[in-house]
Amino acid sequence: MALNLRERSEQDLKFSLEGEWALPVVLIDPDGNKLDTNQNTGEPLTGQVLYDSVKDNPQTGAPVVTNKPVVTLRRSSLSRTPEAGEKWFVQIPVDPSTTATLESFQLDKERPPEGGRSIGFIRIYLRRVKQS
């Protein structure tokens, strides 16, 4: 039986999000549980990490590049996905290297996670954890 386009698209996320461009990602849910393993393969959890994002300046409407990382993960690789309003921590490399030190971030309260089940991925906007 042939796959439909959505099934094929979800399978292709293995290459586009978890392939050669992927970086390690660790999620820590509101209960303190670490999600650092791909639930399908048992391998370390990986995804696309972009260190800069574009946001519109509310006063001028012009796009502004900000140093606010965005992580995109394949939903089927996760045993639990972050929801808007939940307090999750995310650890990503400080620079684009698989061996770089992981730094902690939180979900950005101003931008909830994007991407539904029909798309197959979730995009998470991050902000730095403030040290007290």
pLDDT tens for each residue of the chain, 132 residues long: 676 888 888 888 899 899 999 999 999 999 999 999 999 999 999 999 999 878 889 999 999 998 889 999 999 999 999 999 999 999 999 899 888 999 999 999 889 999 877 789 999 999 988 765
CA 29 to chain centre: 13
* pLDDT given at position 132: 57
| pTM for the whole structure | 0.87
**CA-based angle 88:49:77, to the nearest 5?**
65
DSSP helix/strand/coil, 8: helix
* pLDDT given at position 115: 86
Domain positions in the chain = 5-128
* pLDDT given at position 86: 94
Q: Where are the beta strands (DSSP E) in 16-117?
A: 23-24, 26-28, 34-35, 46-50, 53-56, 63-66, 70-74, 89-93, 102-107
* pLDDT given at position 9: 86
Which bin fits 120, alpha (ψ -120 to 50), beta or left (φ > 0)? left
| 86 Cβ neighbours under 8 A, 6+ residues apart | 29, 30, 107
